[in-house]
Amino acid sequence: MLIGKKSDIIPSEITPQSVYEDRRQFIKAAGFGLLATAAAGYGLLPGHAWAAAEQRRKLTGYNKTAYGADEKLTPYDDVTSYNNYYEFGTSKSDPAEHSKLFKPTPWSVAIEGEVKNPRTVTLEDLLKIAPLEERIYRMRCVEGWSMVIPWIGLPLAQLIKWAEPTANAKFVEFVTLDDSLRMPGARVPILDWPYTEGLRMDEAMNPLTILAAGLYGEVLPNQNGAPLRLVVPWKYGFKGAKAIVKIRFRETMPQTTWVKAGPREYGFYANVNPTVDHPRWTQASERRIGGSVFSPRMKTQMFNGYAEQVAHLYTGMDLRKNF
Amino acid sequence: MLPPNRKQLGLIKAGLSLLALVPLARLIWLGMQDDLGANPIEFIERSTGTWALAILLITLSFTPLRLLTGTAWPVQLRRMAGLFMFFYACLHITTYVWLDHWFDWQEIAKDIVKHPYVLVGFTAFVLSVPLALTSSNAMIKRLRQHWKSLHRLVYLVAIFAVLHFWWLVKKDITEPMLYAMVLAALLSIRLIFSLRKRKGQGV
């Protein structure tokens, strides 16, 4: 497996941020900017694409799977320009704009809590725990829109087996990066940083749950949660913690960021459920991103259409109460 | 500054009308370029809603301007501004009913009744309909003193419109707060002057 390594020395580590940002701006303004403007002018390059093009890197050595093979993919540009990632700003276009300089390498993840050997694993080693797979999943946001995204990642269950949790481990908590130097949105106390999420152990072990490190055959873009994020396709999108730095096994249910922010509006389970409305908007239907102005909404499916694989996890539970 | 004469006022109105159509022209232009972003319907809804609210606040600013500076002639632009606010509100609600919900009246009714932010937004629109309908000179003459009382509804429309925006936002209330602050300032100026006037009359 190869995550297109560019250089061993990371400029951000040896040069103060402000300096290299300025330098970068200068270089862009002086040369590359001119070149790109010319290219854009001649229609060679869309105006906004050149900055992003610097970051796009192919991901090799993953297996295709049958998951979602019949789905129509949401265009790459939509998947990478319409994001909820408050650490980089609260508007949908902020994450793509404000994460351009974010360097997700080097990266490591701490495995903590109820495990035999708490340890820290580098991203490279973590991605070797199991073969990477492409999974095409629907993603339903709690706000009423949805996408179809070809993720690349590994089943969380494989990592959990590797981590060897103790018998006490009933929940998994995901703690994400809280670095206000690198994440302008995290300077604003809009949510209780760091953003944390959690799953019940059986949810985490479900074969659908993955840790994603890529999409569309490429390394995960910063705005989508680089370098490592959670994807739980039968739950609302906010469960998908981005830029994960800690995976903590716990005996008790963890507090999660959105539950803390609005306990009436967001629950721990956050399963996609068309029959339980969000207090402020309907969950019965959704708008699929990538359509035209004249595309109608579509009906939202129970568990986002993954009922067959996950409904058994919730038998006997009142999903109105456990929303 | 001298107030404009009839001809100049006509020119000012024509110029401002063209300006007020720029947001619509922009939407049409972006739509034709397929450049309305990943969620074009949301984009149109947000844009028309924001412009309706902004123009509403402009409409409400002519009287405070007169009270503070004594410049009275811009009040003559108020009706035009109010009608443009109604125009964008109509575009906003048409987008919602047509593009967003495809005339699914049952869903729309449920959405209005169940969700407070939709309810206040819808109420603001409903209340603005009689104001637009009675905006002509003929109606002003016909309604006489009732006209003024009726058009006080605009304060309610503004408060509901700001609430509509406020309740729609998930967490970052910066933007609705800005509109709320402008509205609060505009209404306070009126209130202060009317209290002062009442006091003056009492003496």
CB distance B49 to B165 below 8 Å: yes
Q: Closest approach of chain B CAs to the CA of A295, in angstroms? A: 8
Confidence of residue A47 (pLDDT cuts 50, 70, 90): very low
Structural domain containing residue B179: 6-202
User: Which residue does chain A place closest to B98, by CA atoms?
Assistant: A294
Percent of chain A with pLDDT over 70: 83
Handedness of CA B47, B50, B53, B54 (dihedral sign): negative
pLDDT of residue B201: 72
Q: Is the pLDDT of residue A24 over 60?
A: no
At residue A77, what is the residue type?
Answer: D
Confidence of residue A55 (pLDDT cuts 50, 70, 90): low
Q: Is the pLDDT of residue A20 over 90?
A: no
pLDDT of residue B187: 97
pLDDT of residue A96: 97
Confidence of residue A33 (pLDDT cuts 50, 70, 90): very low
Per the prediction, chain A carries an average pLDDT of 88
Q: Closest approach of chain B CAs to the CA of A23, in angstroms? A: 31
- ∠ CA B45-B49-B50, nearest 5°, is 120
Beta partners for residue A138, in sequence order: A148
Instruction: Tell me if B1 is assigned to some domain.
Output: no
Instruction: Tell me if B98 is assigned to some domain.
Output: yes
**Helical pair B22-32 and B78-94, crossing angle rounded to 10 deg:** 30
Reduce the secondary structure of chain B to three states and give it as a string: CCCCCHHHHHHHHHHHHHHHCHHHHHHHHHHHCCCCCCCHHHHHHHHHHHHHHHHHHHHCCHHHHHHHHCCCHHHHHHHHHHHHHHHHHHHHHHHHHHHHCCCCHHHHHHHHHHCHHHHHHHHHHHHHHHHHHCCCHHHHHHHCHHHHHHHCHHHHHHHHHHHHHHHHCCCCCHHHHHHHHHHHHHHHHHHHHHHHHHHHHHC
Residues of B in contact with A145 (CB under 8 A): 39, 42
Q: Closest approach of chain B CAs to the CA of A64, in angstroms? A: 27
Contacts of residue B159, Cβ cutoff 8 Å, sequence gap at least 6: B183
Q: Closest approach of chain B CAs to the CA of A14, in angstroms? A: 35
Confidence of residue A54 (pLDDT cuts 50, 70, 90): low
Give ipTM to 2 decimals: 0.89
Handedness of CA A254, A257, A261, A262 (dihedral sign): negative
Interface check for A133 against chain B (CB to CB < 8 A): the answer is: no
Q: Kindly list the residues of chain B whose beta carbon comes within 8 Å of any beta carbon in chain A.
A: 31, 36-42, 44, 99-102, 107, 110-111, 114-118, 167-168, 170-172
Query: Is the Cβ pair A293, B41 closer than 8 Å?
Result: yes
User: Which residue does chain A place closest to B173, by CA atoms?
Assistant: A190
User: Structural domain boundaries of chain A?
Assistant: 15-54, 59-314
Interface check for A284 against chain B (CB to CB < 8 A): the answer is: yes
In the three-class reduction of DSSP (H, G, I as helix; E, B as strand; rest coil), residue A63 is classed as strand
Contacts of residue A216, Cβ cutoff 8 Å, sequence gap at least 6: A76, A79, A149, A150
> CA A241, CA A133: separation in Å to the nearest integer?
19
Interface check for A86 against chain B (CB to CB < 8 A): the answer is: yes
Query: Is the Cβ pair B39, A81 closer than 8 Å?
Result: no
Instruction: Tell me if B172 is assigned to some domain.
Output: yes
Q: Is the pLDDT of residue A50 over 70?
A: no
Closest CA to B118 of B128, B127, B108, B129: B108
Instruction: Count how many domains chain B has.
Output: 1
Q: Is the pLDDT of residue A36 over 60?
A: no
Q: Is the pLDDT of residue A39 over 50?
A: no
**Token match 């994020």: residue?**
A229
Instruction: Tell me if B19 is assigned to some domain.
Output: yes
Determine the average pLDDT of the residues in A24-45: 42
Percent of chain B with pLDDT over 70: 99
A&B contacts, CB < 8 Å: 61
**pLDDT tens sequence across B75-97:** 999 999 999 999 999 999 999 99
Using CB atoms, which residue from A190, A284, A285 is nearest to B172? A190
Contacts of residue A22, Cβ cutoff 8 Å, sequence gap at least 6: none
Q: Closest approach of chain B CAs to the CA of A274, in angstroms? A: 13
Residues of B in contact with A140 (CB under 8 A): none
Tokens (6 digits) for B195: 């209290």
Using CB atoms, which residue from A86, A282, A287 is nearest to B39? A287
Handedness of CA B92, B97, B98, B101 (dihedral sign): positive
Q: Closest approach of chain A CAs to the CA of B57, in angstroms? A: 24
Determine the average pLDDT of the residues in B167-193: 96
Instruction: State in words which class domain A59-314 has.
Output: alpha beta
Interface check for A298 against chain B (CB to CB < 8 A): the answer is: no
User: Which residue does chain A place closest to B38, by CA atoms?
Assistant: A78
**pLDDT tens sequence across A212-260:** 999 999 999 999 999 999 999 999 999 999 999 999 999 999 999 999 9
Interface check for A256 against chain B (CB to CB < 8 A): the answer is: no
User: Which residue does chain B place closest to A292, by CA atoms?
Assistant: B40
A227 preceded by a cis bond (ω within 30 of 0): yes
pLDDT of residue A218: 97
| pTM of the full structure | 0.86
> CA A91, CA A223: separation in Å to the nearest integer?
12
Residues of B in contact with A192 (CB under 8 A): none
pLDDT of residue A118: 98
For A31-53, give the DSSP string. Answer: IIHHHHHHHHHTTSS-TTHHHHH
DSSP-assigned letter for residue A185: G
Q: Closest approach of chain B CAs to the CA of A75, in angstroms? A: 9
